[in-house]
Amino acid sequence: MATLTLKNKKPAAKTRNAEGEKRAPVRGKGVSKPRPTLAQAQADRAEREERYQQAQQKRERPAPQRDERPARPKATGFRPEHPPQRGEPFRRDDRGDRPRDDRQGRPGPRAGGFNPDGPPQRAQRGEPVRRNEHRDERPADRPRDDRPPRIDQRRASNRGPDFEPPQRPQRRNNPARQVDAEDGDRLSKRMSELKLASRREADEWIAAGWVRVDGKVAVLGQRVVGDVQIDIDPAARQAQSQLVTVLLHKPIGYVSGQAEDGYEPAVVLFQQENRWKDDPSGIKPHPNHHRHLAPAGRLDIDSTGLLVLTQDGRIAKALIGDDSDIEKEYLVRVEFVGLPGGEPVPEGTLPNAALSNNKLALLNHGLSLDGEELKPAKVSWQNEHQLRFVLREGKKRQIRRMCELVGLKVVGLKRVRIGRIPLGNLPVGQWRYLAPWERF
């Protein structure tokens, strides 16, 4: 029979010594403390009871005996010679032989005190001045006020016929902040007309002290007349150069501006993970690029294409200003539905064949929206189902409303160019920076 030998086997720990008693615990491990016997428990209890009784005796103080208490001192106050009898009022100021006045129950003036019937006395040098001597006057001796009772004129019922409300002080205006039209234009507006900055940027520069008019530091709200020399501090130009413009390919389902009806704004897509990998600008992202980033133009929630988000007020004014003439190009997929009361169109007719040349001419020029005649546009067929629009204005849902006037229904709209900046190969939902050498 073979015998197996286990190597590296640790011997079992000994928990009892040679006499059979349990050994002491090692490193905090072991058996619990043995329970005391009945005799030990009774001895401990008796000892605790004795200590408690001793502590109680120390806390208790023996009450002093009645004979040991000190005698209470007798009061040595004023005692009248004739104490008041039963039924007679008690007089507090009954001080012996002090003189009394004619009033019953009231003492006369004190020696050296204030006497209302005597001549006025002035305190001598070194004597304390009595501030409250008027309190010794009797109510009957005080002068009465013959003025009528006070009337609260804040109530309309208490106002007389000649009542005039108090005039409030006029506000003092700064001469440089007068807003009269005859005094000229606001400085921020003049700077915007000269394309130095947007009106918001101009106000920020003026508040920062970066603008001088004829050599003097401008103030916020200042007006200028005629031809003045406007100097801009280089710090303002440096701050303006750090503003960025973002080109975004907006997907369908995002609104251009503020969130509405549960739809998110397109600016939420401006995140690092959505940046186009082929961005040629070379601009490094910065947290300040999210500040004051606003859309320069609208794009409907059902439309897609190029959307401009910018911090630069000059670019925003150039794109959506009243005098803006930058072209916007769109590709529009349409269907011909006809006009109400018109002749029916055979099924399967292509939109380019159903739309007459006269209607196409109206799309180029001759339509009006909201009572205003539209600017001339460039509208042509891109293919059988798609039109190409080039506009120089941007009214609300302009292309869709123009198509409805000629019997067309828009089923798809995409903006592919703004000025000289094309959408290019920018993927849907991604963005890139406007490069420093690019201009709209």
pLDDT band of 232, cuts 50, 70, 90: confident
Give 359's Cβ-side CA count (13 Å radius).
18
pLDDT at position 94 over 60: no
Instruction: Check if the beta carbon of residue 312 is closer than 8 Å to that of residue 239.
Output: no
Q: Reply yes or no on whether the pLDDT at 29 is more than 60.
A: no
pLDDT of 439 > 60? The answer is yes
Q: CB atoms < 10 A from the CB of 309, how many? A: 25
Mean pLDDT of 252-271: 87
Sorting pLDDT into bands at 50, 70 and 90, what band is 307? very high
315 pLDDT band (50/70/90 cuts)?
A: confident
pLDDT at 426 exceeding the cut of 80: yes
Is the pLDDT at 216 greater than 60, yes or no?
A: yes
Q: What is the mean pLDDT of residues 281-306?
A: 88
- CB-based burial, 160-186: b 16+ in 10 Å, e otherwise: eeeeeeeeeeeeeeeebeeeeeeebeb
CA angle 430, 435, 440 (to 5 degrees): 95
pLDDT of residue 91: 59
Question: If pLDDT is split at 50, 70 and 90, which confidence band does 250 have?
Answer: very high
Confidence band, pLDDT 50/70/90 cuts, at residue 10 = low
Determine the average pLDDT of the residues in 33-50.
87
Return the C-alpha torsion angle 173, 175, 178, 183, nearest 10: 160
Residue-wise burial string across 88-99, b where 16 or more C-beta atoms lie within 10 A, e elsewhere: eeeeeebeeeee
Q: Averaged over 423-439, what is the pLDDT?
A: 92
Question: What is the rounded average pLDDT of the residues 347-369?
Answer: 88
Q: What is the mean pLDDT of residues 335-357?
A: 83
Residue 119: per-residue pLDDT: 60
343-369 average pLDDT score: 86
Given this model, what pLDDT does residue 88 score?
Answer: 62
Return the half-sphere exposure (C-beta side, CA atoms, 13 A cut-off) of residue 417: 14
Percent pLDDT > 70 in the chain is 66
Binning pLDDT at 50, 70 and 90, where does residue 325 land?
A: confident
pLDDT grade for 263, boundaries at 50, 70 and 90: confident
Region 339-344 average pLDDT: 79
> What's the chain look like in SS3?
CCCCCCCCCCCCCCCECCCCCECCCECCECCCCCCCCHHHHHHHHHHHHHHHHHHHHHHCCCCCCHHHCCCCCCCCCCCCCCCCCCCCCCCCCCCCCCCECCCCCCECCCCCCCCCCCCCCCCCCCCCCCCCHHHHCCHHHCCCCCCCCCCCCCCHHHCCCCCCCCCCCCCCCCHHHCCCHHHCEEHHHHHHHCCCCCHHHHHHHHHHCCEEECCEECCCCCEECCCCCEEECHHHHHHHHCCCEEEEEECCCCECCCCECCECEHHHHCCHHHECCCCCCCCCCCHHHHCCCEECCCCCCCCEEEEEEECCHHHHHHHHCCCCCCCEEEEEEEEECCCCCCCCCCCCCCHHHHCCHHHHHHHHCCCEECCEECCCCEEEECCCCEEEEEECCCCCCHHHHHHHHCCEEEEEEEEEEECCEECCCCCCCCEEECCCCCCC
Residue 361 predicted with pLDDT over 80:
yes
Are residues 231 and 237 in contact, defined by beta-carbon separation less than 8 angstroms?
A: no
pLDDT-derived band at 178 (thresholds 50, 70, 90) equals very low
- The confidence band for 247, taking pLDDT boundaries of 50, 70 and 90, is very high
121 pLDDT band (50/70/90 cuts)?
Answer: low
Which member of 94, 136, 279, 300 is catalytic? 300
Residue 274 to residue 427: CA distance in whole angstroms: 10
Alpha-carbon gap, residue 183 to 223, rounded angstroms: 7
The answer to which of 64-68, 237-241, 282-286 has the lowest mean pLDDT is 64-68
Active site residue 300: yes
Local confidence band at 179 (pLDDT 50, 70, 90 cut-offs): very low
Q: Give the separation between CA 393 and CA 374, rounded to whole angstroms.
A: 8
Residue 233 pLDDT more than 70? yes
Q: Does the pLDDT value for residue 153 go beyond 80?
A: no
* The two structure tokens encoding residue 253: 């389902």
At residue 379, the pLDDT reads 94
Query: Over 80: is that where the pLDDT of 44 sits?
Result: yes
The predicted-structure confidence for 181-211, as pLDDT tens digits, reads as follows: 556 788 888 888 887 887 888 888 888 888 8
Residue written as token pair 């902040």: 177
Residue 25 has pLDDT above 50, yes or no: yes
Q: How many CB atoms lie within 10 A of CB 354?
A: 16
Q: Summarize pLDDT for 392-421 with one digit per residue, the tens.
A: 988 889 999 999 999 999 999 999 999 999
